[in-house]
Amino acid sequence: MTALEVRHLHKRYGQHLAVDDVSFTVAEGEIFGIIGPNGAGKTTTVESIAGLRTPDSGSISVLGFDPVKDRAEVRERLGVQLQQSSFPDAIKVAEALELYGSFYQNPADWRELMELLGLTAKRNTQYKALSGGQKQRLSIALALVGNPRIAILDELTTGLDPQARRDTWSLIERVRDTGVTILLVTHFMDEAERLSDRIAVIDGGRVVAVDTPAQLIAQSSAEQQVRFGISQSLDASVLTELPDVTGVEITEGRWLVTGRGQLLSSVAGALARVQVVAEDLRVDQRNLDDAFVALTGRAPETPETPERRGE
């Protein structure tokens, strides 16, 4: 079933068209990623879904409810962890969760959330004394304390160290396993590739692609690369004449063969026929970074500062 539907969404700030005809659907129970350059329209899109901004035109359905017309119903069903969150320094973890839970008609058990997110030991710790990873865990817990069916998580691992990021990924997968649909906005390609069932790529206010991570990667380039070294002499024509090969480069004794189709088997077969043994043979794997570059024409940005207001 469809949890979320966005159709022909438009939003302008003065002369700047931030969102230009954005459309996508999210199925119940999936992690749906949204990626794109700074200023692409990601944050405006998710803030419109959350009812924090009013679109100029288009429609949004959150479990059948309109975020503007049915604000109360959407608030009960939608949890939000925004890009920037701040809380009173002196508030304790348990106090924050109990307070936020009181805002909802049917809240989740905040004690169970503390346990799920590894915060039980910190229940009496003040917000100012939490580490960056613990603050992110609390932010996620507060997004879930209303017992939502959909959770929006916007740049949830920005500023975390690699281990904290991986721990947070595991937590998100566990949250999804409880039945919560997740809308994940991120600059990190490895995060989107690891967590998302499907991904929307937004650029210039428009959706330029929606597909699984594997399909986005596969569609970004059909070319493959095989690298290896050899201790024997080899005539490059042995490889350049293969139908699957589009290019051969030799740098300091290392060979880089680019091509399509069954490239690896073609190269291996050609080397075997001339009795040349490849050393340290590697196949370069394409990833979501490559797909991002192919679709947007620029490299992914690492978020060091929050995205511009008005995106």
Could you tell me the mean pLDDT of each successive run of 10 residues in the chain, 311 residues long? 96 95 97 93 94 96 96 93 81 95 92 90 96 87 93 86 85 90 94 96 95 88 85 93 93 90 90 94 86 85 46 45
Residue 24 CA to residue 292 CA, distance in Å, equals: 18
Which pLDDT does position 203 carry in this prediction? 94
pTM of the model: 0.80
Rg over alpha carbons for the chain, rounded to the nearest Å, is: 24
SS3 184: strand
Residue 49: which of 30, 77, 16, 28 has the closest Cα?
A: 77
Structure tokens at 222: 């059909």
Q: Which residues contact 146 (CB under 8 A, 6 or more apart)?
A: 75, 76, 79, 100, 101, 103, 104, 107, 108
Which pLDDT does position 118 carry in this prediction? 87
Residue 271 CA to residue 24 CA, distance in Å, equals: 48
Edge-to-edge strands, sheet with 198-203: 78-81, 150-154, 181-185, 31-35, 198-203, 206-211
Beta strands in 42-116, from DSSP E residues, in sequence order = 57-62, 78-81
Which pLDDT does position 309 carry in this prediction? 36
Contact 32, 199 (CB under 8 A): yes
Edge-to-edge strands, sheet with 254-259: 245-251, 254-259, 224-229, 279-284
Residue 4 CA to residue 206 CA, distance in Å, equals: 18
Residue 12 CA to residue 18 CA, distance in Å, equals: 5
Which pLDDT does position 268 carry in this prediction? 93
Contact 307, 84 (CB under 8 A): no
Output phi, psi for 128, to 5 deg: -65, -20
Contact 43, 185 (CB under 8 A): yes
Which pLDDT does position 229 carry in this prediction? 94
For Cα atoms 25, 30, 31, give the angle at the middle one, nearest 5 degrees. 95
